[in-house]
Structure 1
Amino acid sequence: MNNEQQRIEELAVNLFNINAVKFGEFDTKSGIKTPVYFDLRVIVSYPDVMELISDLIYEFAFKEMDCVHICGVPYTALPIATLLSVRAKKSMLMRRKEAKAYGTKKMIEGHYEAGQSCLIIEDVITSGSSVLETVKDLRKEGLKADRALIILDREQGGRENLAKNDVQIKSLFTMSKLIEILVQKEKIDNTMANKVKKYLLETPAAVKIDSLEDRTLLTYEQRSELSTNTVAKRLFHIMSAKKSNLCLSIDLTSTIKILDMIEKVGEHICLLKTHADIIEDFNTDFTVSLKNLAKKFNFLILEDRKFADIGNTVALQYSKGIHKIAEWADCVTVHSLPGEGILKAINNSCDNGIGSRGVFLLAEMSSEGNLITTEYTAQTVKMASKYPNVLTGFVCQTKESFNDPRYIQLTPGVQFECSKDELGQVYNTPEKVILEKGADVVVVGRGIVTAKNPEAQAVLYKNVLWSNYLRRVSGKIE
């Protein structure tokens, strides 16, 4: 056995001993049980392990690679990247998780020039999405980012996803190799090893990521193929079939007036946004009629409930009470403020017989002076990544909020003229929200509902929004 192999085995045992790798039964981000869990963040408390990792990465691959800069994927890989930078006397760059709301608003910190090469350091890859986010921001700055050094490859699609985006990786361990070493060192038995191998074979834990291309340049048809949420798939298909990305916000208080308005404009919308709690004569017959009209005109129903309570309360608000939202709404809006328990509640409700439903997470708001920050938006998007099957998209105002093509950007606050009402609602034009702000579905309310001829106005909005969408995906934006 050569010295390098001995040190690799030493590292495997050390990672086990400090609980950086654990075996048992754990919940993954998607809610699936896994027999193995990695938390390499703990290595910062063990200088000897940190030194061993950096030494092995340096000897194993780094010293043979020609690069100008090093960039660690935030946050776990940053200390390893720092040690490598000092040892190799190479410049280090830092990628922010989110841009500052002031100053230069840069995502990449450090001194660099376009065309220079940057080697990426990461701790663990599953789908490779975190590495790809870093690659995207480095390439935006004109840097060459096509190689990455990884501590552990979970062998769940990350290597392949990265290769599709012209990123080649080298890893100290694969999951298979780590398991083999730990069995040999009698840290785990063959039963546990086989359980992990079976999990890897049977669990599609990694998301397929085919391209770093701007999601707004992909067609709705292309994105429907990538979607993991049934409601998002249906909505993409409806938009394509009806040539409409118009959502009507129908803030009327009478069931008769609501149904009458839908008869006039239902043919031209892809989504109907309701506020059930403002309807004065809400009843079961109304929701039956509402669902029939949705089927007749081929649109989905979004109840803009903006859930914002603890999980148990939200589960009751969603499925019980007078409104029984889960029985008639295809999707709902949800605040991320209470944490991921709110998504678990709706996900569990769907698993308990309600069927396929979707969630639009509120990542940004269109009202003047709202308290949502860029960091809050980034954390909302990060939280949502744990629930790809229930997440339909995000309510947001800027395309920079997220770039995952599986999800739909729902943007409210749209009228033909930029304006602001007396209560602080800020309006943008259809052209601006589609071409500049990245909207996929555009919400129009009073611009249609209060018009003298709502149908004619709906047709006008539909045509303008769709033509700008076609301009966007064609790339012909001047």
Structure 2
Amino acid sequence: MAYDSKLVELAIKLFSIDAVKFGEFTTKSGIKTPVYFDLRVIVSYPDVMESISNLLLDVTMKDLKYDHVCGVPYTALPIATILSVLTKKSMLMRRKETKAYGTKKSIEGHYKAGQTCLIVEDVVTSGSSVLETVRDLRKEGLLVTDTVIILDREQGGSKNLDSNEVQVKSLFTMSSLIDILVKNGKITEETVIKVKNYLKETQAPVIEKPLNRILLPYEKRAELAKNGIAKQLFTIMATKKTNLCLSVDLTSTTKILDLLEQVGEHVCLVKTHADIIEDYTDDFIKRIKQLADRFNFLLLEDRKYADIGHTVSLQYTKGLYKVGDWADCVTAHSLPGEGILKALNAPNGCDRGVFLLAEMSSEGNLITPDYKEATVVMASKYPELITGFVCQNIDTFKDPGLIQLTPGVQLESSKDDLGQVYNTPEKVILEKGADVIVVGRGIVAAKSPVTQAVLYKDTLWKCYLKRVSGKLE
């Protein structure tokens, strides 16, 4: 095969500056390899950086359309900088570690959601480093469809990126590079055979495209759920075609039961506050459970447990309310630590679930991004107990088997006198990722609760169908 003279010149130069070495080497993972690439040395050779940048521009970027370029940290950053200058396209920088102060951004630079970003990388083996950058950029609403690289090691990285909807264009493949070097007397045929055998025997692990919980239907997510209550709730939503949770913040058992007689067929979950009910009795629990069975909805006691494990265990199973006997799931804060989850493990082997509060809808609440992240990590240790999270944002968690429960919803955006901020169904489902949407006063205080319940149910379900169709425009 005839190669462009500039590519041949670059390959020989990379060999001469020890950016590519042949022999016996051990990778970070302990694997033996007959070839080693260290393209970090190119920063000491301005002529090599210039040559690489010009060739990437001429060979790989000619027909690509993009608004920004972003180099994968850290070796590709100087090349991305040069390309930004040459193309007059703005550069974005991805931080490997999100800073814990200031804006706490993972992506630096000026950009808008919907714009396209081209990724620049030096070497691709498995593609994992590129995918980390892709995911952070996509999380910001940027479109990423292409990456340009210096060398494809041909060990599965291009396939991994392709399966994640990223096309790779490279200056060299491992095969073309060793072909150039052997033809120019830089390596022996024996070395070529070693490298080719190595490539056949050592492929990178397959990186599957992560499941996007936002686009998966409830039926599919029920199959992926590890918590029994989450499975039930997903199935109820799919069967009844409703993702409406009614918050019955009433103080009279008669009013609660009368309301549920009217709207029970339109909801998947009923959220209670047992400790505000003025005439609470065991008979009330018996009757509300009968309604739950008749209309096929689950019961969530919004207790927001937040004490030490021993106390929470008593609050959950003892006292006047004996919540553990009747509530399918409860809410809890992660503030006390893992002890609270140990305390809420299902009594008597029953299916029970917990929604952990990762965010709140009230204005000025003190939950921080670090607290939210720690809450999700803590939950991951108890997969059979956690039903999901009470949260407000799409990026809080990724597990499609968990449920995002989002309160603070009304048909029109507003704010009450006590700092509760209300969002529209479209905003919470399509933009913020809500799965089950909590509505209280919008139904409870209406002149015709059943009319409002049907309106909310239909509106919320249409938003869900639009979301899983992927047609969000």
TM-score class, shorter-chain normalisation, is 0.5 to 0.7
Aligned to 1:282: 280
- Superposed displacement of residue 344, structure 1: 2.1
Aligned to 2:222: 224
* Larger Rg belongs to: 2
Greater displacement, 464-473 / 131-140 = 131-140
Aligned to 2:420: 425
Aligned to 1:389: 384
Q: TM-score scaled to structure 2, two decimals? A: 0.65
**1:318 and 1:324 in contact (8 A); partners too:** yes
Find 1:336's aligned residue among 319, 331, 334. Answer: 334
State the distance in 2 between where 1:209 and 1:439 align: 27
Aligned to 2:245: 247
Would the alpha carbon gap of residues 64 and 471 (structure 1) be closer, same or farther in structure 2, given more than 3 Å must change? same
Output aligned runs, 1:123-272, within 5 Å.
Answer: 136-137=135-136, 142=144, 211-272=209-270
**2:71 and 2:79 in contact (8 A); partners too:** no
Output aligned runs, 1:303-318, within 5 Å.
Answer: 303-318=301-316
- Superposed displacement of residue 220, structure 1: 0.9
Aligned to 2:402: 407
- Superposed displacement of residue 165, structure 1: 5.3
Find 1:115's aligned residue among 116, 119, 125. Answer: 119
- Superposed displacement of residue 382, structure 1: 1.8
**1:255 and 1:281 in contact (8 A); partners too:** yes
State the distance in 1 between where 2:221 and 2:448 align: 34
What amino acid is aligned across from residue 330 of structure 1 in structure 2?
Answer: D
State the distance in 2 between where 1:386 and 1:118 align: 37
State the distance in 2 between where 1:311 and 1:353 align: 18
State the distance in 1 between where 2:133 and 2:32 align: 19
State the distance in 1 between where 2:270 and 2:418 align: 23
Q: TM-score scaled to structure 1, two decimals? A: 0.65
Would the alpha carbon gap of residues 143 and 330 (structure 1) be closer, same or farther in structure 2, given more than 3 Å must change? same
Would the alpha carbon gap of residues 93 and 458 (structure 1) be closer, same or farther in structure 2, given more than 3 Å must change? closer
1:474 counterpart = 2:472: no
**1:398 and 1:438 in contact (8 A); partners too:** yes
State the distance in 2 between where 1:118 and 1:295 align: 60
State the distance in 2 between where 1:241 and 1:213 align: 22
1:440-478 C-alpha deviation (Å, 9 max, x unpaired): 111000110111111111001000110111111112222
- Superposed displacement of residue 133, structure 1: 6.2
Aligned to 1:20: none
Would the alpha carbon gap of residues 452 and 460 (structure 1) be closer, same or farther in structure 2, given more than 3 Å must change? same
**1:410 and 1:440 in contact (8 A); partners too:** yes
Aligned to 1:171: none
Would the alpha carbon gap of residues 335 and 244 (structure 1) be closer, same or farther in structure 2, given more than 3 Å must change? same
State the distance in 2 between where 1:342 and 1:234 align: 23
Would the alpha carbon gap of residues 457 and 135 (structure 1) be closer, same or farther in structure 2, given more than 3 Å must change? same
DSSP-derived class of the 2:463 partner: helix
Would the alpha carbon gap of residues 293 and 423 (structure 1) be closer, same or farther in structure 2, given more than 3 Å must change? same
**1:415 and 1:427 in contact (8 A); partners too:** yes
Q: Identity over aligned residues, as a percent?
A: 59
Would the alpha carbon gap of residues 278 and 305 (structure 1) be closer, same or farther in structure 2, given more than 3 Å must change? same
**1:99 and 1:107 in contact (8 A); partners too:** no
State the distance in 1 between where 2:125 and 2:378 align: 23
Find 2:323's aligned residue among 322, 325, 331. Answer: 325
Would the alpha carbon gap of residues 89 and 241 (structure 1) be closer, same or farther in structure 2, given more than 3 Å must change? closer
State the distance in 1 between where 2:235 and 2:207 align: 21
**1:294 and 1:301 in contact (8 A); partners too:** yes
Would the alpha carbon gap of residues 418 and 98 (structure 1) be closer, same or farther in structure 2, given more than 3 Å must change? farther
State the distance in 1 between where 2:322 and 2:258 align: 22
State the distance in 1 between where 2:284 and 2:414 align: 34
- Structure 1 unmatched ranges of 5 or more: 9-52, 72-81, 123-127, 148-160, 168-207
- Superposed displacement of residue 117, structure 1: 2.6
DSSP-derived class of the 2:374 partner: helix
**1:219 and 1:473 in contact (8 A); partners too:** yes
1:225-269 C-alpha deviation (Å, 9 max, x unpaired): 211111111111100111100000000111111111110110000
What amino acid is aligned across from residue 96 of structure 2 in structure 1?
Answer: R
- Superposed displacement of residue 132, structure 1: 7.0
Aligned to 1:106: 105
Aligned to 1:50: none
Would the alpha carbon gap of residues 131 and 385 (structure 1) be closer, same or farther in structure 2, given more than 3 Å must change? farther
DSSP-derived class of the 1:473 partner: helix
What amino acid is aligned across from residue 114 of structure 1 in structure 2?
Answer: L
What amino acid is aligned across from residue 359 of structure 1 in structure 2?
Answer: V
Find 2:431's aligned residue among 405, 413, 436. Answer: 436
1:359 counterpart = 2:354: yes
What amino acid is aligned across from residue 285 of structure 2 in structure 1?
Answer: T
Paired residue total:
356
**2:80 and 2:120 in contact (8 A); partners too:** no
**2:72 and 2:130 in contact (8 A); partners too:** no
State the distance in 1 between where 2:265 and 2:148 align: 48
**1:393 and 1:410 in contact (8 A); partners too:** yes
- Structure 2 unmatched ranges of 5 or more: 1-22, 41-51, 57-69, 82-92, 111-115, 150-159, 167-205
DSSP-derived class of the 2:95 partner: strand
**1:413 and 1:444 in contact (8 A); partners too:** yes
Aligned to 1:94: 95
**1:231 and 1:356 in contact (8 A); partners too:** yes
Greater displacement, 130-139 / 316-325 = 130-139
Would the alpha carbon gap of residues 461 and 100 (structure 1) be closer, same or farther in structure 2, given more than 3 Å must change? farther
